[in-house]
Structure 1
Amino acid sequence: MSKQTIYINSIASTLPDTQDSPEFVPGKQVSIQEPDYKTLIPDATLRRRMSRIVRMGVATGMQCLNKFPNAPVDAILTATGYGCLGDTEKFMNTLLDNHEQMLTPTAFIQSTFNTIGAQIALLSKNHGYNNTYTHRAFSFESALLDAILLLREEEASNVLVGAIDEMTPTVYEILKRLGLWRNALAGEGANFAILSTTAIPESYAVLEGIELFNGTYSAAEIQERIHNYLVQKEEKNVTVLFPSDYKKICGEYPTAMAYAFNTCCKHLQSGEIKTPILVYNTFLGNHSFIFLKPV
Structure 2
Amino acid sequence: MGRLDGKVALITGAKSGMGLSGVKLFLKEGAKVVATDIVTDKLNEEVNKLKQTYPNVIGAKLDVSNADDWKAVVDLAVKKFGTVNVLVNNAGIHIPNGILETKEDDWDKVMNINAKGVWLGMKQVIPVMQQAGGGSIINNSSVSALIGGFADAHSVAYSASKGAVTSMTRHAAQWFAKDNIRVNSVHPGPIYTDLAKDAGISSQEAMGKLHVGRINLPPYAGEADDVGYGFVYLASDESKFTTGTELVIDGGWVTNSTI
**TM-score of Structure 1 vs Structure 2, range by shorter chain:** 0.3 to 0.5
Q: Which has the higher contact order (CA 8 A, sep 6+)?
A: 1
**TM-score when scaled to structure 2?**
0.33
- Rg larger in 1 or in 2? 1
Q: Please give the TM-score of this superposition, normalised by the length of structure 1.
A: 0.30
